[in-house]
Amino acid sequence: MKSEKISELTTNRLSVYLRCLNALSAAGIKTVSSQALARQFNLNSAQIRKDLGYFGEFGVRGVGYYVDDLRSHITKILGLDIPRRVGIIGAGRLGTALANYQGFSKSNFTVVALFDNDSAKIGSRIGQTSIIVHDEKRLSRIVKVERIDVAVIAVPARAAQRVLNHIMAAGIRAVLNFAPAPLGGRLGVKIKTVDLTTSLESLSYFLGHPQGAVMTNVRSNARGRSIVNHKEQEL
C-alpha cells in the first residue's frame, strides 16, 4: 500500500466496487476489465484503476481482474473479513428499525445490543434475534461484555453529544450518527453522520431547478477526474 493518506471518498468507492464485484461473482463471471466494470455499473475506469493502485497491483495484462480475487482483496482492505459488533444507542423507531435491518445478516456487522434511558423500554427485546435493550447508564460495561466496536447514535439531536461522550468514554472508536446535529469528537474517533434532511433538501433543489441540476452534472462529467481529485483534497 502506498504511504499517502487514503481519502474517505476512495474507501467509499471501494465499497461500491465490492458490491459490483459481488454481483458479477453471483452471475458466474470470472474476470472483468476496468473498462467493462465501468460500463456495466456506470463508473469511471480511470478512477477504478487509480483507487485500486493505492493498495497494490491487482490486474493482469490482457486479462483484467480476477473477480473473486479482487473481491477478497477489497474485503480485506475494508476490514470486512473481521466480524464487527454493533451497539445502537436509542431504542426508538429509528433504532428499532436499524436493529431489524436484514442487510446485517449478509455482512460482517452484527447488532448485539441496544441502549435507552426509557425505563419502559429497558429490558425488552427487539427483532428476530431478541436483542436486549440495556440501560444507557450501563453502556461502558456492556461494551466490554459484548465486545462492541461500532456504535450507532439514533437519539434526538439534543441528546446526541452527550451520547457520543459516553460512547467515547467506553472506548469505541467508530461511530455512525443519525442525529441531525454537529458532533465534537476527539482524536482517534471516526464519526460518520447520515443526515437525511440534508439529502432531502438537495433533492428539493433538484426538483426546483431541474435544468440547472442537469447542466451541473454535465459539467462535472466533462471535468471528471479533476473534480474527484479536488474533492478528495478537501477531505
Q: Show me where the domains of the chain are located.
A: 8-77, 84-194, 198-234
Question: What pLDDT is stored for residue 45 in this prediction?
Answer: 93
Question: What pLDDT is stored for residue 103 in this prediction?
Answer: 85
Give domain 8-77's CATH architecture.
Answer: Orthogonal Bundle (1.10)
Question: What pLDDT is stored for residue 5 in this prediction?
Answer: 79
Q: Are strands 65-66 and 109-116 parallel, antiparallel or unpaired?
A: unpaired
**Residues paired with residue 97 on neighbouring β-strands, in sequence order:** none
Question: What pLDDT is stored for residue 126 in this prediction?
Answer: 93
Q: CATH says 84-194 is which class?
A: alpha beta
Sign of CA dihedral 146, 154, 173, 71: positive
- Helix crossing, 196-208 with 210-223: angle to 10°? 110
Amino acid occupying residue 125: R
- What nine digits make up the cell of 124? 425488552
Question: What pLDDT is stored for residue 231 in this prediction?
Answer: 39
**Dihedral pair phi/psi, residue 54, rounded to 5°:** -65, -25
* Predicted TM-score (pTM) above 0.95: no
Question: What pLDDT is stored for residue 225 in this prediction?
Answer: 40
- List of the chain residues with pLDDT < 50: 3, 215-235
Question: What pLDDT is stored for residue 102 in this prediction?
Answer: 86
**CB burial readout 128-139, b (16+ within 10 A) else e:** eeebbbbbbeeb
